[in-house]
């Protein structure tokens, strides 16, 4: 029970920091909303996708925007972890009578809560501008499970980068790699129109499988192999990052 209470106590500390940071709110919430509006109203009419009308493009692009919201939030997770390391907070935590594993777990819990809150806000805006889904409760739950899994995986992926980086800028830079993967995926356009080498990479990288699984679920289409492949990627990334992150933390 001490482990759980320590984890949520430290998570509460970080959530308060995030809520007091105006630049965090602007970047993590307002930027994805702006990107959603930009894609739907500015580029949506120029993008031609078979079987997807201009009015339905918001349904197509939303899964990618939700993952972008989470990826953007991961930069601040890395920033907070690196700041605690460089400011000496980790050394202070190690001298306190708290569970040692609660330090990183508290970071992870706060990160996932903040990511999912911002994701729900972006989803609400999507409904306001025309997003509609006939998905059943079970399909919504599966889509939510994948989104939560992505938030957990990206959060733990940020940990080793944040602990190994020597500066705040270096810690948060890894999120640009995730954003790059989003653009080289099926987030905004089908991968079929991409050059062959790019298409092969886009078809097989993890973000495409997560996006396709969420998209197919919300549009009540069969998800095929995307579901289990996405789950396998997310579980693998989470476990690997957790092990590496905790190993580095013990040596910090």
What pLDDT digit, counting tens, does each position of 185-210 carry?
999 988 888 899 999 999 999 999 99
* Mean pLDDT computed over 234-243: 96
Residue 1, pLDDT score: 53
- pLDDT surpassing 80 at residue 225: yes
High-pLDDT (> 70) share of the chain, %: 95
Q: What is the pTM of this model?
A: 0.91
* Mean pLDDT computed over 155-167: 88
Where are the domains positioned within the chain?
A: 2-251
Between residues 75 and 124, the one the model is more confident about: 124
Residue with tokens 């569970």: 99
On average, the pLDDT of the chain sits at 87
Q: Do 148 and 68 form a contact (C-beta atoms < 8 A)?
A: no
pLDDT digits (tens, 9 = 90+) for 78-100: 888 888 888 887 778 777 777 77
Residue 102, pLDDT score: 81
Residue 114, pLDDT score: 87
* Mean pLDDT computed over 31-49: 81
Q: SS3 for the chain, per residue?
A: CHHHHHHHHHHHHHHHHHHHCHHHHHHHHHHHHHHHHHHHHHHCCCCCECCECCCCHHHHHHHHHHHHHHHHHHHHHHHHHHHHHHCCHHHHHHHCCCCCCHHHHHHHHHHHHHHHHHHHHHHHHHHHCCCCCCCCHHHHHHHHHHHHHHHHHHHHHHHHHHHHCCCHHHHHCHHHHHHHHHHCCCCCCCHHHCCHHHHHHHHHCHHHHHHHHHHHHHCCCCCCCHHHHHHHHHHHHHHHHHHHHHHHHHHC
Residue 110, pLDDT score: 87
Residue 84 tokens read as 């605690």
Between residues 115 and 54, the one the model is more confident about: 115
- pLDDT surpassing 80 at residue 22: no
């Amino acid at each position: 029970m001490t482990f759980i209470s320590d984890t949520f106590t430290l998570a509460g500390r970080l959530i308060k920091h995030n809520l007091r940071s105006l630049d965090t709110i602007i970047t993590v919430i307002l930027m994805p909303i702006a990107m959603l509006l930009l894609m739907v109203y500015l580029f949506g009419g120029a993008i031609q996708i078979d079987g997807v009308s201009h009015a339905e493009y918001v349904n197509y692009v939303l899964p990618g925007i939700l993952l972008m919201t989470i990826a953007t939030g991961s930069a601040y997770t890395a920033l907070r972890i690196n700041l605690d390391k460089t400011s000496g907070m980790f050394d202070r935590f190690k001298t306190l009578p708290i569970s040692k594993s609660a330090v990183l777990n508290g970071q992870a819990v706060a990160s996932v809560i903040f990511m999912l809150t911002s994701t729900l806000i972006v989803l609400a805006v999507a409904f306001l501008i025309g997003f509609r889904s006939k998905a059943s409760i079970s399909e919504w739950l599966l889509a939510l499970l994948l989104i939560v899994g992505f938030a957990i995986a990206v959060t733990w992926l940020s940990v080793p980068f944040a602990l190994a980086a020597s500066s705040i800028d270096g810690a948060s830079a890894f999120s640009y790699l995730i954003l790059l993967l989003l653009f080289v995926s099926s987030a905004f356009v089908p991968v079929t129109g991409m050059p062959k080498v790019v298409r092969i990479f886009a078809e097989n990288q993890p973000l495409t499988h997560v996006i396709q699984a969420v998209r197919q679920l919300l549009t009540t289409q069969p998800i095929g192999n995307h579901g289990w492949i996405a789950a396998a990627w997310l579980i693998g990334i989470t476990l690997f990052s957790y092990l590496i992150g905790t190993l580095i933390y013990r040596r910090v």
